[in-house]
Amino acid sequence: MSDSIDSASSPDPTPAAVRPKGAPRFPGGPQADPAGSHFERRIRSFQPRRSRVTAGQGDALRRLWPKWGLDIDGRALRLGELFGDDRPVVLEIGFGMGEATARMAADDPGTNILAVDVHTPGQGNLLNLADQHGLTNIRVANGDAIILLREMLTPDALDGLRVYFPDPWPKKRHHKRRLIQAEFLDLVADRLRPGGLVHCATDWEPYAEQMLDVLSTHPEFENTRPEGGYAPRPEFRPLTRFEGQGLEKGHVVNDLLFRRVQHS
């Protein structure tokens, strides 16, 4: 028997066939379209996909979303209130299934991680991992990270940004969907405190070159490597799921570690 709550034998109390349009798949859990049309962003860096959610992930979404979940609905956000303390906050965009996120949260309990993705099974998985490992320094946000940055966060709110293995959008006509570009960095520069770190990693070499180019030429960022170029993978970044898949295909992984400049 499948353990997916989307399957025919599913214990899902609100299967898609009887659920009114726009109603949440998981009552009390993440909303289908938290920002609605008001904050719509036409060019998206992610592909909307309807994915199977296991019973365990569905259970975590129902049980833990009210405590640790956040819908990206465009409303102003106070990070101190969200986490219940004033520890530094790092934003991770696109955590996938969240294994690396949970690892980093466990290794560094003095840092709060605001982890954003639109991928429902991953949201459930990360909530489960946080619960199982007693991690109280993770909050899981559902929706487009651009709306979170643009509408919900104040200047200098963040201590760091992590973007690990963002969708590479290899086709030329899709390059506009890539997350790491100059306009995105303008927004990040404003929300990141001076000295805050931007850490990116990718296994797609043309995208790595684009990242290096836009970060190196942006006036608000400086490379943490005085000689420039890519950084060795820092010890604090575990191998991620997508990275593992890329390495199996023989891809080369590049890390980029830049700092928001401090103006004197």
Ligand X SMILES: C[S@@+](CC[C@H](N)C(=O)[O-])C[C@H]1O[C@@H](n2cnc3c(N)ncnc32)[C@H](O)[C@@H]1O
Annotated binding site for substrate: 171, 203, 240-243
Closest approach of ligand X to the CB of residue 91, in Å:
10
Distance of closest approach, residue 262 Cβ to ligand X, in angstroms: 28
| Choice between 85 and 235, CB closer to ligand X | 235
Residue 200 φ/ψ, nearest 5 degrees? -120, 155
* Widest Cα–Cα separation across the chain: 63
Of residues 94 and 196, the one with the C-beta less far from ligand X: 94
- Minimal distance in Å, beta carbon 145 to ligand X? 4
Binding residues (CB under 6 A) for ligand X: these are 45-46, 93-96, 116-119, 144-146, 164-167, 179, 240-243
- Pick the closer one to ligand X by CB: 179 or 192: 179
What DSSP letter does each residue of 44-71 carry, written as one string?
-SS-------BHHHHHHHHHHHHHHEEE
Q: Catalytic residue positions?
A: 167
Least distance (Å) between residue 246 CB and ligand X: 9
Nearer to ligand X, 11 or 170 (CB): 170
Annotated binding site: 92, 117, 144, 167, 171, 203, 240-243
CB-based contacts of 70: which residues, under 8 Å, 6+ apart? Answer: 77, 82, 114, 139, 140, 141, 142
